[in-house]
Amino acid sequence: SHLAMDSSRGAGSLGRVCSCLSHCGATKTLNLLPPGVCNLLNPAAIYANNEISLGDVEIYGFDYDYTLAQYSNLLHSMIFNTARDILIEQFKYPEGLGKYDYIPGFAIRGLHYDVQKSLLMKIDAFHYVQLGTAYRGLKPVPDEEVIELYGGTQHIPLYQMSDFYGKGPSLKQFMDIFSLPEMTLLSSVIDYFITHGIEFDQVHLYKDISDAIRDVHVKGVMYKWIEKDLEQYILHGDEIYAVLNRLVNHKKKLFLITNSPFSFVDKGMKHMVGKNWRDLFDMVIVQADKPNFFTDRRKPFRKLDDKGSLQWDKINQLEKGKIYKEGNLFDFLRLTGWRGSKVLYFGDHLYSDLADLMLRHGWRTGAIVPELETEIRIINTEQYMHSLTWQQALTGLLERMQMYQDAESKQVLLEWMKERQEIRSLTKNLFNPQFGSIFRTFHNPTYFSRRLVRFSDIYMASISCLLNYDVNFTFYPRRTPLQHEAPLWMDQLCTGCMKTPFLEEMVHIR
């Protein structure tokens, strides 16, 4: 608590601060954390980017895969292995690739891939590469090489970045959960080629792997695995029934828009909800071809019979209990009249599910982010809180003490900067040793976080989180600090630069 007072005194105070900091370093795990600061966040909570009252919502819409149906991570290994075998058997890639297995926890969602440079990396909200998170194959690329590759900077120019749907001219962003095995396969193939000194065309390699992964989905291989063992692959089915049933009991209308085929959705919903699951929904649309469903007016709706066979009659109304294929949002809005903020739609893909609905049509949106549960549990640990608090303390000291430029002070500042960097790396590794948290770089929000805030009113780990709230609950986003408001917040309190009678209350502010 004396550090800030020392910093306001005359020359030589850096030495006293250094002495104090040395003592503080030995006892920081005991003294820096306010009481009760761990376990503040609830993994089953819903978090708000924008104020929204569920009492105003009359219609609830849902995606299917990874929204209503949460899948076991076993699926990732199956996708990886099958796509790897397609590369070997159909694309005639080296048989040595068969020795590579899926690596759980290698990649995280939201990463960018530079096709021409064969770099998989994490980029922050300001388009800067987070150093230490750039990989070519399965090995990290030195920071100096990354900076050199981008013309002496960590910054990626806007024209190279992904477009509205994460499909830029040279950078691709992996946004859905199904992309985890794709990123791992991409890295594994590059690792094999580099290790064996095999030259390859970066564009062809990326396209081949994308096509192999696509075949797993498009040809229905993945659907067959899940249908054969619904119990093993689908998680939390009983909670989905509870969510849907409660909404219907409170007179809410429900609809489903998914890219998956009817037979697959039907089996999964019967497993989770029961054979009469369609009675809960006012509208069910399958093979919708999102995101084109939201932007392309050309595809009309087609009706399916109870066996999933196509009907030929013209669709002039959308009937409750019927199944429809394809179509487009403009006809959907015209036929239902469901517009604006009375509609709340949930999905896991920020681009394909949510972006158009929020920005172009004014629907309220909810993002399903399964990784949130694990990340919050890490944030709630003492190890994370100790690391973060000590990092913030060092940052505050570096900012205040940088005016001391004598030789001894410069050495102390360099040591603090080195320790700060070590703590930042340690904190990153708590989430993922390669790429860290999907929500943050060292201190900035990630590009993924930026899109999450932009395209969703609320976000949560799973649909079942709705069970923790009343159907008329209003979500209020926390007031988070702008930089000019920062002295009122916790990072300044950590270095003792101000006293406040509201410490107990402020530790609860996120």
Contact status, residue 135 vs residue 434, Cβ threshold 8 Å: yes
Q: Does the annotation place 348 within a ligand binding site?
A: yes
Instruction: Give me 39's structure tokens.
Output: 């376990």
The three-state secondary structure class of 323 is strand
DSSP 191-232: HHHHHTT----HHHHHHHHHHHHHHHHHTTHHHHHHHHTHHH
Give the relative orientation of helices 202-218 and 74-89 as an angle to the nearest 10 degrees.
120
C-alpha span between 459 and 372 (Å, rounded): 9
Question: Does 65 participate in catalysis according to the annotation?
Answer: yes
Cβ-proximal residues to 145 (8 Å cutoff; 6+ apart), any chain: none
Element at 121 (helix H, strand E): strand 119-121
Contact status, residue 187 vs residue 107, Cβ threshold 8 Å: yes
Is the bond into 291 cis (omega within 30 degrees of 0)?
yes
- Tokens 């690329």 belong to 141
Contact status, residue 82 vs residue 182, Cβ threshold 8 Å: no
Query: What is the chain's length?
Result: 510
C-alpha span between 8 and 471 (Å, rounded): 53
Phi and psi torsions of 171, nearest 5°: -115, 135
Q: Which residues of 134-151 are buried (b: 16+ CB within 10 A; e: fewer)?
A: bbbbbebbeeeebbebbe
Indicate which residue of 6, 56, 65, 211 is catalytic.
Answer: 65
The count of other CB atoms within 10 Å of the CB of residue 98 is: 14
Instruction: Give me 324's structure tokens.
Output: 């429809």
Contact status, residue 455 vs residue 367, Cβ threshold 8 Å: yes
Q: Does the annotation place 63 within a ligand binding site?
A: yes
Sign of the alpha-carbon dihedral angle for 97, 108, 213, 136: negative
Instruction: Give me 67's structure tokens.
Output: 């929204």
C-alpha span between 195 and 338 (Å, rounded): 56
- Determine whether 237 is exposed, middle or buried from the number of CB atoms within 10 Å of its CB (0-12, 13-18, 19+): buried
Indicate which residue of 6, 56, 63, 289 is catalytic.
Answer: 63
Instruction: Give me 89's structure tokens.
Output: 């058997």
With CA atoms as reference, report the closest residue to 123 among 59, 175, 72: 175
* DSSP 8-state code for residue 88: H
* DSSP 8-state code for residue 310: B
Amino acid identity for residue 435 in this structure:
F
* Residue positions forming the annotated binding site for GMP: 65
Residue positions forming the annotated binding site for Mg(2+): 63, 348
Residues taking part in catalysis: 63, 65
